[in-house]
Structure 1
Amino acid sequence: MVKVLEIIVYGAEVLCPSCVNLPSSRETYEWLEAALSRKFVDQTFKITYVDIHHPPEDDAKKAFAQRVIDEDLFYPVVSIEDEIVGEGNPKLKKICAEMERYGFKAV
Protein backbone atom coordinates (compact mmCIF):
# COMPACT_ATOMS: atom_id res chain seq x y z
CA MET A 1 0.00 0.00 0.00
CA VAL A 2 1.31 3.45 -0.94
CA LYS A 3 1.70 5.91 1.90
CA VAL A 4 -0.45 9.02 1.51
CA LEU A 5 1.54 12.23 1.85
CA GLU A 6 0.18 14.27 4.75
CA ILE A 7 0.48 18.04 4.85
CA ILE A 8 -0.20 19.38 8.33
CA VAL A 9 -1.12 22.96 9.13
CA TYR A 10 -0.48 23.80 12.79
CA GLY A 11 -2.17 26.91 14.09
CA ALA A 12 -4.51 28.46 16.61
CA GLU A 13 -7.81 30.28 16.64
CA VAL A 14 -6.08 33.38 18.01
CA LEU A 15 -3.92 35.14 15.45
CA CYS A 16 -0.18 34.99 15.88
CA PRO A 17 0.84 38.35 17.44
CA SER A 18 3.27 39.00 14.60
CA CYS A 19 0.73 38.06 11.94
CA VAL A 20 -2.14 40.48 12.64
CA ASN A 21 -2.68 41.49 8.99
CA LEU A 22 -2.52 37.93 7.67
CA PRO A 23 -5.31 35.34 7.32
CA SER A 24 -6.04 33.12 10.32
CA SER A 25 -4.49 29.66 10.58
CA ARG A 26 -7.84 28.07 9.69
CA GLU A 27 -8.25 30.37 6.65
CA THR A 28 -4.72 29.50 5.53
CA TYR A 29 -5.51 25.79 5.89
CA GLU A 30 -8.68 26.15 3.78
CA TRP A 31 -6.87 28.21 1.13
CA LEU A 32 -4.00 25.73 0.99
CA GLU A 33 -6.35 22.76 0.71
CA ALA A 34 -8.16 24.38 -2.23
CA ALA A 35 -4.98 25.55 -3.97
CA LEU A 36 -3.18 22.20 -3.69
CA SER A 37 -6.28 20.28 -4.83
CA ARG A 38 -6.37 22.42 -7.99
CA LYS A 39 -2.63 22.15 -8.58
CA PHE A 40 -2.27 18.40 -7.97
CA VAL A 41 -5.45 17.05 -9.56
CA ASP A 42 -6.21 13.33 -9.07
CA GLN A 43 -3.14 12.84 -6.86
CA THR A 44 -3.57 11.47 -3.36
CA PHE A 45 -2.52 13.58 -0.44
CA LYS A 46 -4.10 14.53 2.84
CA ILE A 47 -4.13 17.97 4.44
CA THR A 48 -4.83 18.21 8.17
CA TYR A 49 -5.40 21.15 10.50
CA VAL A 50 -4.07 20.84 14.06
CA ASP A 51 -4.92 23.40 16.73
CA ILE A 52 -1.70 23.81 18.72
CA HIS A 53 -3.63 24.45 21.94
CA HIS A 54 -5.96 21.44 21.47
CA PRO A 55 -3.97 18.85 19.48
CA PRO A 56 -5.34 15.36 18.77
CA GLU A 57 -4.23 12.32 20.76
CA ASP A 58 -1.69 11.44 18.06
CA ASP A 59 1.70 11.62 19.83
CA ALA A 60 3.61 12.98 16.83
CA LYS A 61 1.10 15.76 16.16
CA LYS A 62 0.92 16.59 19.87
CA ALA A 63 4.73 16.81 20.09
CA PHE A 64 4.98 19.01 16.99
CA ALA A 65 2.22 21.30 18.28
CA GLN A 66 4.18 21.68 21.53
CA ARG A 67 7.30 22.48 19.47
CA VAL A 68 5.42 25.31 17.73
CA ILE A 69 4.58 26.75 21.15
CA ASP A 70 7.98 26.12 22.77
CA GLU A 71 10.01 27.54 19.90
CA ASP A 72 7.66 30.51 19.38
CA LEU A 73 7.23 29.66 15.72
CA PHE A 74 5.05 31.96 13.63
CA TYR A 75 1.85 30.10 12.90
CA PRO A 76 0.38 28.71 10.87
CA VAL A 77 3.26 26.28 10.49
CA VAL A 78 3.01 23.95 7.49
CA SER A 79 4.88 20.66 7.69
CA ILE A 80 5.38 17.77 5.32
CA GLU A 81 6.92 14.62 6.76
CA ASP A 82 7.86 16.53 9.96
CA GLU A 83 9.79 19.15 7.99
CA ILE A 84 8.67 22.77 8.20
CA VAL A 85 7.91 24.08 4.71
CA GLY A 86 6.06 27.25 5.68
CA GLU A 87 5.71 29.49 8.69
CA GLY A 88 3.62 32.60 9.39
CA ASN A 89 2.72 33.39 5.81
CA PRO A 90 3.47 30.11 3.97
CA LYS A 91 4.44 30.33 0.32
CA LEU A 92 2.53 28.08 -2.08
CA LYS A 93 5.53 27.81 -4.41
CA LYS A 94 7.73 26.34 -1.66
CA ILE A 95 5.03 23.88 -0.54
CA CYS A 96 4.47 22.76 -4.15
CA ALA A 97 8.22 22.30 -4.66
CA GLU A 98 8.33 20.08 -1.58
CA MET A 99 5.40 18.01 -2.86
CA GLU A 100 7.17 17.61 -6.20
CA ARG A 101 10.15 16.18 -4.30
CA TYR A 102 7.77 13.39 -3.24
CA GLY A 103 6.77 12.68 -6.85
CA PHE A 104 3.71 14.88 -7.25
CA LYS A 105 3.20 16.51 -10.64
CA ALA A 106 1.59 19.96 -10.87
CA VAL A 107 -0.91 20.51 -13.66
Structure 2
Amino acid sequence: MHKPVEITVYGAEQICASCVHSPSSKDTYEWLQAALKRKYPNQPFSINYVDIFQPPEDKKKKEYARKIIEEDLVYPVITIEDHWVAEGNPHLKKICSEMEKYGYRSQ
Protein backbone atom coordinates (compact mmCIF):
# COMPACT_ATOMS: atom_id res chain seq x y z
CA MET A 1 0.00 0.00 0.00
CA HIS A 2 1.47 3.35 -1.03
CA LYS A 3 -0.61 5.95 0.78
CA PRO A 4 -3.87 5.98 2.71
CA VAL A 5 -6.83 6.28 0.35
CA GLU A 6 -9.41 9.01 0.71
CA ILE A 7 -13.01 7.83 0.92
CA THR A 8 -15.74 10.44 0.63
CA VAL A 9 -19.40 9.97 1.43
CA TYR A 10 -21.59 12.60 -0.24
CA GLY A 11 -25.07 13.07 1.16
CA ALA A 12 -27.56 15.32 2.89
CA GLU A 13 -29.45 15.64 6.15
CA GLN A 14 -32.70 14.87 4.36
CA ILE A 15 -33.04 11.26 3.21
CA CYS A 16 -33.09 10.87 -0.56
CA ALA A 17 -36.64 10.56 -1.91
CA SER A 18 -35.71 7.28 -3.61
CA CYS A 19 -34.27 5.90 -0.36
CA VAL A 20 -37.16 6.30 2.08
CA HIS A 21 -36.46 3.06 3.98
CA SER A 22 -32.66 3.30 3.81
CA PRO A 23 -30.33 4.73 6.45
CA SER A 24 -29.45 8.42 6.25
CA SER A 25 -26.27 9.53 4.51
CA LYS A 26 -24.70 10.37 7.88
CA ASP A 27 -25.66 6.94 9.27
CA THR A 28 -24.13 5.32 6.18
CA TYR A 29 -20.94 7.32 6.70
CA GLU A 30 -20.67 6.20 10.34
CA TRP A 31 -21.48 2.57 9.48
CA LEU A 32 -18.94 2.52 6.64
CA GLN A 33 -16.22 4.07 8.80
CA ALA A 34 -16.71 1.46 11.54
CA ALA A 35 -16.96 -1.46 9.10
CA LEU A 36 -13.79 -0.50 7.23
CA LYS A 37 -11.82 0.03 10.46
CA ARG A 38 -12.78 -3.51 11.54
CA LYS A 39 -12.04 -5.01 8.13
CA TYR A 40 -8.71 -3.21 7.62
CA PRO A 41 -7.21 -2.71 11.11
CA ASN A 42 -3.84 -0.97 11.21
CA GLN A 43 -4.28 0.01 7.54
CA PRO A 44 -4.85 3.77 7.51
CA PHE A 45 -7.39 5.51 5.30
CA SER A 46 -9.31 8.75 5.59
CA ILE A 47 -13.08 8.91 5.35
CA ASN A 48 -14.96 12.18 5.06
CA TYR A 49 -18.57 13.24 4.90
CA VAL A 50 -19.63 16.01 2.51
CA ASP A 51 -23.04 17.63 2.74
CA ILE A 52 -24.04 18.13 -0.90
CA PHE A 53 -25.94 21.32 -0.04
CA GLN A 54 -22.99 22.80 1.89
CA PRO A 55 -19.84 21.36 0.30
CA PRO A 56 -16.36 22.50 1.34
CA GLU A 57 -14.31 24.88 -0.81
CA ASP A 58 -12.47 21.95 -2.44
CA LYS A 59 -13.14 22.30 -6.20
CA LYS A 60 -13.53 18.57 -6.88
CA LYS A 61 -15.88 18.02 -3.93
CA LYS A 62 -18.01 21.01 -4.95
CA GLU A 63 -18.25 19.62 -8.48
CA TYR A 64 -19.34 16.17 -7.25
CA ALA A 65 -21.94 17.76 -4.94
CA ARG A 66 -23.29 19.87 -7.81
CA LYS A 67 -23.48 16.83 -10.09
CA ILE A 68 -25.38 14.79 -7.47
CA ILE A 69 -27.96 17.56 -7.12
CA GLU A 70 -28.27 18.45 -10.82
CA GLU A 71 -28.47 14.86 -12.04
CA ASP A 72 -30.81 13.90 -9.19
CA LEU A 73 -28.56 10.99 -8.20
CA VAL A 74 -29.49 8.69 -5.33
CA TYR A 75 -27.38 9.56 -2.31
CA PRO A 76 -25.25 8.84 -0.49
CA VAL A 77 -22.64 8.65 -3.22
CA ILE A 78 -19.32 7.11 -2.18
CA THR A 79 -16.01 7.80 -3.86
CA ILE A 80 -12.57 6.33 -3.27
CA GLU A 81 -9.76 8.52 -4.53
CA ASP A 82 -12.37 10.49 -6.52
CA HIS A 83 -13.57 7.31 -8.27
CA TRP A 84 -17.34 6.76 -7.96
CA VAL A 85 -17.86 3.44 -6.19
CA ALA A 86 -21.44 3.37 -4.91
CA GLU A 87 -24.71 5.26 -5.05
CA GLY A 88 -27.69 4.85 -2.74
CA ASN A 89 -27.57 2.03 -0.21
CA PRO A 90 -23.94 0.82 -0.68
CA HIS A 91 -22.71 -2.75 -0.60
CA LEU A 92 -19.64 -3.25 1.58
CA LYS A 93 -18.31 -5.95 -0.75
CA LYS A 94 -18.08 -3.50 -3.67
CA ILE A 95 -16.35 -0.86 -1.55
CA CYS A 96 -13.87 -3.41 -0.17
CA SER A 97 -13.15 -4.68 -3.67
CA GLU A 98 -12.20 -1.15 -4.69
CA MET A 99 -10.01 -0.67 -1.60
CA GLU A 100 -8.16 -3.90 -2.34
CA LYS A 101 -7.13 -2.40 -5.69
CA TYR A 102 -5.10 0.04 -3.58
CA GLY A 103 -3.37 -2.70 -1.60
CA TYR A 104 -5.70 -3.07 1.39
CA ARG A 105 -6.00 -6.60 2.75
CA SER A 106 -8.75 -7.95 4.98
CA GLN A 107 -7.58 -9.16 8.39
Same fold (TM over 0.5): yes
In the alignment, the residues of structure 2 paired with residue 3 and residue 63 of structure 1 have an alpha-carbon distance, to the nearest angstrom, of 24
Flag structure 1 segments of 5+ consecutive residues without an equivalent.
none
How does the TM-score come out when normalised to structure 1? 0.95
Query: What is the aligned residue count?
Result: 106
Secondary structure of the residue that 1:86 maps to in structure 2? strand
How does the TM-score come out when normalised to structure 2? 0.95
1:70 positional shift: 1.4
1:59 positional shift: 0.9
Q: Which amino acid is 2:82 matched to? A: D
In the alignment, the residues of structure 1 paired with residue 63 and residue 72 of structure 2 have an alpha-carbon distance, to the nearest angstrom, of 14
Moved over 3 A (4+): none
Q: Which amino acid is 1:40 matched to? A: Y
RMSD: 0.9
* Paired residues for 1:5-84 under 5 Å: 5-84=5-84
Secondary structure of the residue that 2:96 maps to in structure 1? helix
Q: Which amino acid is 1:4 matched to? A: P
1:56-84 Cα shifts (integer Å, max 9, x gaps): 11111111111111111100000112221
More off after superposition, 21-30 vs 74-83: 74-83
Flag structure 2 segments of 5+ consecutive residues without an equivalent.
none
Q: Which amino acid is 2:76 matched to? A: P
In the alignment, the residues of structure 2 paired with residue 64 and residue 6 of structure 1 have an alpha-carbon distance, to the nearest angstrom, of 15
Percent of pairs with identical residues = 60
